[in-house]
Amino acid sequence: MKKHITLSFLLFFFSFAFIGVQAQDTSYVRSIITQLASPELHGRGYVKKGDKKAAKLLLQEIEKIGLQAFEPGYTQEFSFPVNSFPRNVFVSVDDKKLTPGVDYLLRGDAPSTRGSYQIAWINQKVVEHEDALVNMINNVDKDYFIAIDTTGIRNETILELIQFIRAENPTKASGIIWIHHGKLVYRPYKEQSKFPTIQMKPEALSPDAQEIKIKARARFHKKYTTQNLVAYHPGQVDTFIVMVAHYDHIGRMGKECYFPGANDNASGSAALLDFARHIGQKENQAYYSYAFIWFGAEETGLLGSKFYTEHPFFPLNQIKYLFNYDMVGTGDEGLSIVNALSHPEVFARMEAMNEQHQFFESIRGGKGSANSDHYYFTTHEVPSFFFFTRGKFKAYHDITDKAENLPLSGYHAFFGFIAQFLSEVEQLRY
């Protein structure tokens, strides 16, 4: 009993010392998110140097906080191929101009395309007659775009054929229109296709539409140079707790359409700055050293984190824990922790801590997944956890992921959860 009282007292005391002067400044976090998601940063992609402008903003904050650099300038450069659309993208159907991001999106690997095309359909009506489908496939030429709508089609063999046509376009048609009944979602590509694919809402293309006009100029970068940002706060030992977030997003599709990326992942980037401010305060004398990494090119295939694990600034075996923050701008529905089930003892401590302090009504532990920047660290056996908050705000890779729409409803709980866990790790060294 005496041991229990002493341990509880120590935890209470250290919790006060480590989190008593919390940064947890929601106004600061919202300000950073607003700047990162602004039109001036062009979606933090590869049009108008959006990624570099975002990095510059973050570097200014890193310097204000007073974090130390492993390398001069805090930067780690790397290069990769990527396709982009720097100029206006224009699409009309029967002379009615469509709105990018609302009515349609070009797939990110589309090449430059310009012209007027007739529309040939693959839909339930056509596939009911095998001869009609074969005849259509054999007779379309470069003057056509094939519009595909799988609504109502149940035959698995036909669906496999349609997916093949969509992916490979074995016909002579100049492009593919994919009728999409869900949310329009965009992502960048590291390659350029031989033909364009247009993801289009069903209400934008009626079955009796005759003509589509398209004008899109793509720019393919064989070797685009971007950067990771790496900083640290020294502790008493060279064992590191590493916090990471990706600051890039998916950029622009022409001049009229950009993807703000407020939740994904301006929120995580801002949270990382908030933790850096907090841990760097003189009142919070940490035992462990803390590294903070803002990764580039996550949206293009986890490229920044992969590059870092291949070229680390300190040995990866010096990392005690890695925390990845990706989409932490909600929380009204709870917190999810990817890769938690790979470390059941640590996750059990997190669950017990949450039950005691009631940060979230619901926390979910998930299996490992290659879906964010923690992944390549797990391949090097670094204990890694990917945190994201759940909420009613569901914008993702679309034009509605705006700062003004982001509630930050669970940010205080998220900050408190992480800070409390760190206080216990600092005290108990587990």
**366 pLDDT higher than 80:** yes
Q: Is residue 107 domain-shared with residue 166, that is, in the same domain?
A: yes
Regarding whether 181 and 249 lie in a shared domain, the answer is no
Give the pLDDT score at 13.
44
User: Binning pLDDT at 50, 70 and 90, where does residue 281 land?
Assistant: confident
pLDDT of 83-124, one tens digit each? Answer: 999 998 999 999 999 999 999 999 999 999 999 999 999 999
What is the pTM assigned to this prediction? 0.93
Q: Do 272 and 226 sit in the same domain of this protein?
A: yes
Q: What's the number of domains the chain is made of?
A: 2
User: Mean of the per-residue pLDDT values for the chain?
Assistant: 93
User: Which domain-ending residue is among 164, 183, 216?
Assistant: 216
Q: Assess whether 334 and 369 both reside in one domain.
A: yes
For the chain, give the percent of residues with pLDDT over 70: 94
15 or 264, which is more confident: 264
- Shared domain for 267 and 405, answered yes or no, is yes
- The span from the CA of 135 to the CA of 263, in Å, is 47
- The CATH number assigned to the domain holding 293 equals 3.40.630.10
Q: Based on the domain organization, do 292 and 383 belong to the same domain?
A: yes
Do both 330 and 385 map to the same domain?
yes
Q: Which residue has the higher pLDDT, 215 or 13?
A: 215
Indicate if 67 and 104 belong to the same structural domain: no
Question: pLDDT by residue (tens digit) across 392-409?
Answer: 999 999 999 999 999 999
Q: Please tell me the predicted confidence (pLDDT) of residue 282.
A: 66
Domain identity same for 383 and 282: yes
pLDDT tens digit string along 36-54? 999 999 999 999 999 999 9
| The last residue of a domain, from among 194, 216, 238 | 216
The residue segments making up the domain with residue 415 are 2-82+222-428
- Any idea what the CATH number is for the domain that residue 179 is in? 3.50.30.30
Q: Is the pLDDT of residue 4 over 80?
A: no
Give the pLDDT band of residue 3 (cuts 50, 70, 90). very low
Q: Binning pLDDT at 50, 70 and 90, where does residue 153 land?
A: very high
- Mean pLDDT for 135-154 is 93
Q: Domain ends where: 216, 244, 262?
A: 216
What's the pLDDT at 20? Answer: 42
